């Protein structure tokens, strides 16, 4: 009778482990459905080959280039703006310290 508590504890731990294993499997299945369904072969996780015409491939490349160029211009303009603001603020601080 004294080992009944240990046995009961072991049984409850086994049930909890099985339940958590089931939850992990369900979560993995849902994630696989979300991320691996379009364009991926779920059996060996390789990208399926698709046939793309030369015209559409050219359009896609052109869109990527234009988006990349726009992003580069935006980053450059932000960098220049921040640099100008930093120079102006430093100049103002120097002016106020020396000429006040």
Q: Are residues 96 and 70 in the same domain?
A: yes
Q: Are residues 42 and 4 in the same domain?
A: yes
Q: Are residues 60 and 31 in the same domain?
A: no
Q: Are residues 100 and 64 in the same domain?
A: yes
- Please determine, for residue 1, whether its predicted confidence score (pLDDT) is greater than 60: no
DSSP label at residue 38: S
Tokens 């935006």, residue located: 74
Spatial distance between the Cα atoms of 38 and 81, rounded to a whole number of angstroms: 42
- φ, ψ (nearest 5 deg) of residue 90: -65, -40
List the helix and strand counts (H, then E) for the chain. 2, 2
Q: How many domains does the chain have?
A: 2
Spatial distance between the Cα atoms of 45 and 39, rounded to a whole number of angstroms: 10
pLDDT tens digits, 41-87 = 556 656 566 778 899 999 999 999 999 999 999 999 999 999 999 99
Q: Are residues 1 and 44 in the same domain?
A: yes
Q: Are residues 60 and 44 in the same domain?
A: no
pLDDT tens digits, 58-71 = 999 999 999 999 99
Query: Domain range holding 67?
Result: 56-100
């Amino acid at each position: 009778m004294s080992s009944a508590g240990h046995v009961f504890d072991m049984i409850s731990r086994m049930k909890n482990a099985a339940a958590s294993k089931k939850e992990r499997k369900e979560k993995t299945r849902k994630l696989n459905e979300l991320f691996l369904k379009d364009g991926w072969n779920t059996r060996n996780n390789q990208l399926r080959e698709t046939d793309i015409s030369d015209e559409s491939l050219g359009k896609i490349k052109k869109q990527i280039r234009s988006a990349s160029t726009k992003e580069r211009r935006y980053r450059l303009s932000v960098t220049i703006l921040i640099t100008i603001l930093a120079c102006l603020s430093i100049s103002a601080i120097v002016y106020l310290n020396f000429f006040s």
